[in-house]
Chains A and B, each alone.
Chain A
Amino acid sequence: QSALTQPRSVSGSPGQSVTISCTGTTSDVGGYDYVSWYQHHPGKAPKLMIYGVNKRPSGVPDRFSGSKSGNTASLTISGLQAEDEADYYCCSYAGGYKGVFGGGTKVTVL
């Protein structure tokens, strides 16, 4: 499976909104509503932020939202805060009982 495509980096000022895209194919993102997003601070365990395209686990702020259109999923962070600075990864079910990650996006809070 080829990795899903994410922008290498996005940035925004505190309080602004940023959106991270995650582009796949009809064999993964476009074929299933099984997309998840992870926040990863270096040296720590990744954290589940979104699953099932747009569902938030308990404890994740509602500033984080997910969506999907065709072969592209998106994660939007509204009201950007300093602690949101991290790497973000999308992941999709890819058929054959397997998953595939995106290459990761570094979010910088200016």
Chain B
Amino acid sequence: EVQLLESGGDLVQPGGSLRLSCAASGFSVSSNYMYWVRQAPGKGLEWVSVMYSGGGSTYYSDSVKGRFTISRDNSKNTLYLQMNSLRVDDTAVYYCARDLDSSTWVPLSYFDLWGRGTLVTVSS
């Protein structure tokens, strides 16, 4: 079955770090544009980061750039999000997602497969 399963969400203090994992099955994360998207409580969806297929270029939203790092382990077929210097406003459900078409010249943010999400709470 083709699916994504996130894990790693937890309660963490402001300034702390956390690493989220997204295990893929039924397809290869290295062959697809892969993303992290988040939803803060009572708020809308927010685009966070993308990792290219192949060479693995990465891009980030301005709100997380310099603090978050997206990466993958091809042998484990798993996508990661390393989150450092966490702030209260990083509290959200974090989803990983796959692009519908990874042959395009840039990632178009057409998310055709999503995980169920993992909750990150940043609070003292």
Q: Which residues in A have some Cβ–Cβ distance to B below 8 Å?
A: 1, 3, 34, 36, 38, 40, 44-48, 51-52, 57, 89, 91-93, 96-104
Q: Are B47 and A101 in contact (CB under 8 A)?
A: yes
Q: Which residues from chain B contact A52 at a C-beta distance below 8 Å? A: 108, 110
Summarize B's interface: helix, strand, loop or mixed.
Answer: loop
Q: Which residues in B have some Cβ–Cβ distance to A below 8 Å?
A: 37, 44-47, 50, 57, 59-62, 95, 100, 106-112, 114-117
Q: Do A99 and B44 contact each other (CB < 8 Å), given the known contacts A45-B114, A51-B110, A57-B112?
A: no
Give B33 Cβ to nearest chain A Cβ, in Å.
10
Give A29 Cβ to nearest chain B Cβ, in Å.
12
A48 partner, pick from B37, B60, B112, B117, beta carbons under 8 A: B112
Q: Which residues from chain A contact B59 at a C-beta distance below 8 Å? A: 96-98
Q: Which residues from chain B contact A3 at a C-beta distance below 8 Å? A: 44, 46
A45 partner, pick from B47, B60, B95, B106, beta carbons under 8 A: B95
Q: Are A46 and B114 in contact (CB under 8 A)?
A: yes
Q: Which residues from chain B contact A51 at a C-beta distance below 8 Å? A: 100, 108, 110, 112
Give B27 Cβ to nearest chain A Cβ, in Å.
16
Q: Which residues from chain A contact B112 at a C-beta distance below 8 Å? A: 48, 51, 57
Q: Which residues from chain A contact B106 at a C-beta distance below 8 Å? A: 93, 97
B109 partner, pick from A36, A47, A103, beta carbons under 8 A: A36
Task: Give the one of A36, A44, A45 with max B CB within 10 A.
Answer: A45
Distance, CA A52 to CA B59, complexed state (A): 21
Which residue of B has the minimal Cβ distance to A33? B108
Q: Do A104 and B47 contact each other (CB < 8 Å), given the known contacts A36-B109, A45-B95, A93-B109?
A: no
Distance, CA A38 to CA B37, complexed state (A): 13
